[in-house]
Structure formats: C-alpha cells, structure tokens
C-alpha cells in the first residue's frame, strides 16, 4: 500500500472504512482458499491484504477515539 493510499484512508468516513474493511476481508478469504487449492502462487498478496485490513481497523479505532473524546 502506497503512502498516498494511506492518506486516502485517513480522509475516509467510518462508513466508507467499513465498506473497505468488508471488501478486504472477503478478498483475503478468497486469496486463502485459492492458496489452499493451489490456484495462486503469490502468497505475498495475502500479506498485503492483511496489512491493509490492519490499517483500516487502525483508522476506524482512531476515529472512534476522536468522536468519544471529541
């Protein structure tokens, strides 16, 4: 994920982040099943998606803390 992508994530609303989270989780699920069946040889893609999910969840938690303390 590029720095510009991370900056875009920071500007998104909570609803948009939830949509991105759900799509990334389904993408990871699909990648894992494809890896298990041998359809995909590049296991690094799953690692990238896991990191993307972590970043999205981090921004969601930050927004939650800001609104709680806001």
In Å, what is the CA distance from 42 to each residue of 14, 27, 53?
31, 14, 18
The range of the structural domain enclosing residue 43 comes to 3-69
Alpha-carbon distance of 26 to 53, in angstroms, equals: 11
- CATH (domain of 25): 1.10.287.310
Supply the pLDDT for residue 40: 85
Question: What pLDDT digit, counting tens, does each position of 13-61 carry?
Answer: 999 999 999 999 999 999 999 999 999 888 899 999 999 999 999 999 9
pTM of whole model > 0.75? yes
Alpha-carbon distance of 5 to 9, in angstroms, equals: 6
Supply the pLDDT for residue 6: 83
pLDDT at 4 over 90: no
SS3 29: helix
Domain count for the chain, please give it.
1
């Amino acid at each position: 994920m590029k720095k510009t992508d991370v900056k875009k994530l920071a500007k998104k609303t909570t609803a948009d982040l939830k949509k991105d989270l759900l799509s990334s989780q389904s993408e990871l699920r699909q990648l894992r099943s494809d890896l298990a069946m041998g359809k995909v040889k590049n296991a690094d893609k799953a690692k990238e998606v896991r990191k993307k999910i972590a970043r999205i969840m981090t921004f969601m938690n930050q927004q939650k803390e800001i609104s709680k303390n806001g």
